[in-house]
Structure formats: C-alpha cells, structure tokens
A and B are shown apart, each in its own frame.
Chain A
Amino acid sequence: MPEPILQLAGIARDFYDGRNLRRVLEKTDLDIYPGEFTILAGPSGSGKTTLLTIMGLILKPSEGSIAIRGRAITKMSESALASLRLHNYGFVFQLAELLPALSVMENIIVASGIQGRRVPAALRRRAEELLDGFGLADCINLRPLQLSGGQKQRVAIARALVNEPAVLLCDEPTSALDSESSAIVLDVLKKLSRDTNRAMIMVTHDPRVFPFADRLIKIENGAIVSDTRTIGQPLPGETH
C-alpha cells in the first residue's frame, strides 16, 4: 500500500455570508495517492471547488488537518504554504488565467522565479519540451492574446507541469472551451492521467473524462456522497 501524498482529516469549511456562518464543506476525510487520477463531481455549489482549493493549500479549512507526505501543514504560515504550493502543486484553472503581459514561455516559467530565485536553464528546456509535446513549439514568444482558447489552456497545463509537481489540480479545465479545443485539451489530460507518479485531481462535469479516472468522488451539499475506484482498480502500486 503506497503512502498517500495528501491526507485530509476531518476537514470542514465555513463561510460567513454577511449574516450567518454557513458550512459549505462538511467534515471530510480523504486520502489522495500518487499516480491516482481523481475526479470530483457534483452539482454547482456542492462544495467541490472548496474541497479542491483546500487540497491546493489555497483555502484554509475551518476545522481538521492536512498533511502532505505525512507532514502536517495546517499550522504553517501563508508564506510556507505558498512555497509548498510552488514546489509540490500544479494548477489548471477553469480559464487559462495566463498573464497577458507575459509571453507564453514567461507564463510557463513565471512561478519558478516568482520567489526571487533564478530560473534554471533546465526549466526553460523543460518548458520548451512541454510546449513541443502540446504542439505549441511555434508559440513560445507569442502573447496569450494571440492564442486560441485551447492553446491557452494547453499553455496553462504546461505551466502547471513545468515544475514536475507531485499533485496536479484542475478546476473544470474544459468547461470554457469549444468542443474542438476541449477535445484537444482532453487528449492532453488523458495522457497525463497515465503518469503513475503524479496525483491528479480534477473538478469536472465532462463525462468524456470519467473513463480515464481511477477514482470518482461525488459531492452533494458539501459532503462526499460516494467515493468509488472506477473499474474496480486497485490503489496505485497495489498488486492483485
């Protein structure tokens, strides 16, 4: 049995809506394993994005604890959490959210240098390889405004992968794309799902992604209502 890369124990989240404190995520226990492609599904407002942002160390839980590779991080400072995100996470947002002022290459490497460190040449090479792999080799010096929606989202995926993160979090990455762009991005995500070292967690409604997932977690009204390992797969690393 492999060690979970991410452990959520008794996680809950409350929001103050101006008048009342509202619980948007009920107490949740969840382990995420390396190599596992997990889908979070549920209706709008069910709490899946809240859970995703908590797993991404962006939102602090109101209750409970989080551990990464067994190390508790709940009491860490904002700066320490930012560094953890930088070195362990990759994010793909609903819209690509590329910085319009930067070129494609700069958008991909920006996170690596954002804490003041020099961006290593190896990272630029890796960014080039990723762009090449995504069919965007000619777009290195273009600005996001010069790209199509699908191209932007592939650049965003390259940005998320360039640091070789242990956890890749995707928030409905195809929902804002037309069907053609969506198909291209899905193709990229399918390939990524085969990576056995990285945990991939995706919030999505797109049924075309479901067959490629190892695990499907359904959330309703802030609580996990089902957690199934699809096609009866064993945990990554387990043998029958």
Chain B
Amino acid sequence: MRSIVALKILLYDKATTAGSLIGVIAIVFLVGQQLAVLFGLFTYMSVLVDHSGADIWICSKNTLNINATDTLPERYADRISGLPFIAWAEPVLFGNATFITRDGKAESLQVVGLQPSSRALWPWRFHEGSVEDMLEDEGLTLERLDLGVYGDPKIGDVFEVNDVRMRISAITQSIKGFSGRMAFTNVVKARKILKTTPGRCKAVVVKLKPGVPLEEAIAGIQAVLPDTEVMSSAQLSARTRIYYVKNTGMGGSFGFSTMIGALVGIIIITLTMYTGVLQRQKDFAVLRALGARKSDIFVIVLCQSLIIALVGIFIGFLLLGSFLNGTVDTNLPVYMPRRIAPMLALGTLLLCMLGSLLAVRKAISVEPASVFR
C-alpha cells in the first residue's frame, strides 16, 4: 500500500514529478554525454595501441605516450623473436607529418607505414578502396570524416605530405587519432615522409603464443632489452590516456563538467522533491494520525524517489542512446564502454537518494497533530 500511495501521489502531483524527472534525466544525459565524449577521446588517444592486435609494445625508455616515443633499432625485433613464448615480433613505423591541401593550407597527419608482411596496425575499416590500394607505390589513405579538412580530395588526387608526393588510394571509415588524423601508407613511403633513419623504427610490437602469462613475458623481454620500456598493450593504452588527461587539462575540464551535470541534477531533484513534500505535508500528517509510523512515511518518500530515479534513468538512457546513435560516424568523439552504463545508472540512483534526503527529513518531521485545527 505504501508503494501504491507513493506512486499515486507522484501521478497526482504531475508538475512536481515532472520536475524531479527532469533532474534525473539531466544527470543521466549530461553526465553520460560528458563521459561518452571523454571515453571517445580516450579511444582516439590510444587508437593505434588498441587496434594494434599486439599483446606487448616495446618503446623507448620512459615512454609516457604512444604518440611521443623515440625511435628504436629494428634489430630488437630479431633479438627477441627467438624467445620461446613469442609468436611474432615486428618493428612498426608511425609519426606525425604535414599534409598540404590544394589551397596551400598545412594540416597535421599521423602516418602509419605498413608492408604486405606486416601483422599489426592495419587499418580496420575502409569506406572506399582496400589494403592493396593502400600499399600501392604512392598510395595513402585519408579518413572519411576528415576529408573536409583536406579540401574534399577524391581517390586518385595527388598531394604533398612532408614534401613527398602521395596519391589518395583509399578512404578509411571512423579511424581517428588524437595527436593527428590517421593516414596509412606503405612502409617505404612512410620512412621517407617521416625521415626515419634506416634500421630504426618507432616501436616493436609482440604477439605471444597462446597461454603465455603476460607479466612473465614482459619480464622476459625486459631482461633481453633492458634499455627499452616493455609494456602490455593495455598498460601503454592507459599510460597514454593518463598522460593526456594530466597534461592537457582535459581531466579537470571533463571532471568539472561532469560534476556540474550531477550538481544541476541533484539540485533539481532536491528542490522539486522537497516542494512535493511541502505540498503533501497535510497528507503525511493525516497518514501519521491514522497510524502511519515515521518509518512508513520514510518508505513512501523513498519509494517516490526510487520510482522517479528508475523512470528518469530509463528516459535519460533513451535520450543518451539516441545521442550516441546519432553521433556514430561523425566527428564528435563519443564512446560509452559497457561497464560505464550500469555505473552511471547506479550513480544516478544514489544521487536521487541523496537528493531526496531533505524531502524525507521534512516528511517524517510532519506532526500528526497539525491535522487538528
């Protein structure tokens, strides 16, 4: 009966209920959207590592960020290839370059060099063209979402990248980097564009044999190559993200926006629920006079808060889902990891409970004697 009373009061006080719902929806949507953009940027930051297909990365000493690592001798790959737990190890080449558009404008680019025998760092989604097109002599891919920046070039158009003549041979789909727009080419042209000394590479990537413990493999490789930084892909990915969050002010900015979203929501919930209880003070007094205990009134207000939270979370996630779907394959970096959604829902639920505390306090302090005149 208490939950029915709670629900009926909510349905009756439509304006108050709508206000509280807006508070919950604001939390889910504003916080969710901020988190989605933050995680979207995270995926850009470590896109190379996350899509490398490798288990372990070997970089120059003290590497904090995949996009800012020094070169290594390519022979390191040969030195560890013989270790019994390694399936394959190969050097990889990537780096930043400048793309000159038709109207002479310079745009940054992150070039990745590949050869037919490469086993890592392949582009994973094409909009137009193929791997074979990409590997052509002067072939270069551009990202579909970035074409506008480069003056809308077409397949076959020729441009200069770091003074090297390149021809657009394929267009990738939704492969975005953080430090520069991603472009793939063959390793020969990549070396020329990036002016990398022969015999040196940006990193060595390693695939382990099935069942090999990652930590043991890292320790084994580190023992052979003590002057390098040996990390799992997950470690390097996390390290890169932390680097950007710490050094770009992004962490503080997103943290602040997220907090503001949560704060706006909790203020709306608190005010509307409190107003709702003020409006229903007399009803609570009547219930108390008729035999409701303080705990029963507490349960009623808590039920109201729960109902508002659950409905608001549902609507909030519908809106958030629409936002996420609507931004797929756009320039807006949005990504919501699966584990974040339940955490956001739980966090919102807790904020709702917190927001209803003042209302609960007011409701249980209502004097039943106030019904008598």
Interface set, chain B 1-18, CB cutoff 8 A to A = 1-2, 4-5, 8-9, 11-13
CA distance A91 to B8 in the complex (A): 23
* Least Cβ–Cβ distance between B206 and chain A, in angstroms: 62
Q: Is the CB of A110 within 8 A of B12?
A: no
Evaluate whether A78 and B294 lie within 8 angstroms (CB atoms) in the complex, with A100-B12, A106-B8, A119-B1 already known. yes
Task: Confirm or deny: B148 has a beta carbon within 8 angstroms of a beta carbon on chain A.
Answer: no
The residue that A102 contacts in the complex, of B5, B290, B296, with Cβ under 8 A, is B5
Q: Is the CB of B371 within 8 A of A79?
A: no
Q: Is the CB of B372 within 8 A of A94?
A: yes
List of B residues within 8 angstroms of A110 by Cβ: 1, 5, 287, 290
Q: Is the CB of A82 within 8 A of B286?
A: no
CA distance A6 to B292 in the complex (A): 21
Closest to B7 in A: A101
The residue that B9 contacts in the complex, of A56, A101, A116, with Cβ under 8 A, is A101
Q: Is the CB of A83 within 8 A of B291?
A: yes
List of B residues within 8 angstroms of A94 by Cβ: 372-373
Q: Is the CB of A59 within 8 A of B291?
A: no
Task: Confirm or deny: B289 has a beta carbon within 8 angstroms of a beta carbon on chain A.
Answer: yes
Task: Confirm or deny: A99 has a beta carbon within 8 angstroms of a beta carbon on chain B.
Answer: yes
Number of chain A interface residues as a range: 35 or more
Interface set, chain A 110-151, CB cutoff 8 A to B = 110-117, 119
Task: Confirm or deny: B288 has a beta carbon within 8 angstroms of a beta carbon on chain A.
Answer: yes
Interface set, chain B 282-322, CB cutoff 8 A to A = 282-283, 286-296, 299
Task: Confirm or deny: A7 has a beta carbon within 8 angstroms of a beta carbon on chain B.
Answer: no
Task: Confirm or deny: A86 has a beta carbon within 8 angstroms of a beta carbon on chain B.
Answer: yes
List of B residues within 8 angstroms of A186 by Cβ: none
| Contact digits for A39-67, partner B, Cβ 8 Å, 1 yes 0 no | 00000000001001100101100000000
Q: Is the CB of A111 within 8 A of B291?
A: yes
CA distance A109 to B294 in the complex (A): 19
| Contact digits for A80-94, partner B, Cβ 8 Å, 1 yes 0 no | 001101110101011
The residue that B295 contacts in the complex, of A53, A56, A79, A112, with Cβ under 8 A, is A79
The residue that B291 contacts in the complex, of A49, A52, A86, A100, with Cβ under 8 A, is A86
List of B residues within 8 angstroms of A93 by Cβ: 286, 289, 371-372
Q: What are 12 of the A-B contact pairs (CB < 8 Å)?
A: A49-B372, A58-B369, A59-B369, A79-B293, A94-B372, A97-B371, A99-B287, A106-B5, A113-B4, A114-B291, A114-B292, A171-B372
Interface residues of B (CB under 8 A from A): 1-2, 4-5, 8-9, 11-13, 282-283, 286-296, 299, 368-369, 371-373
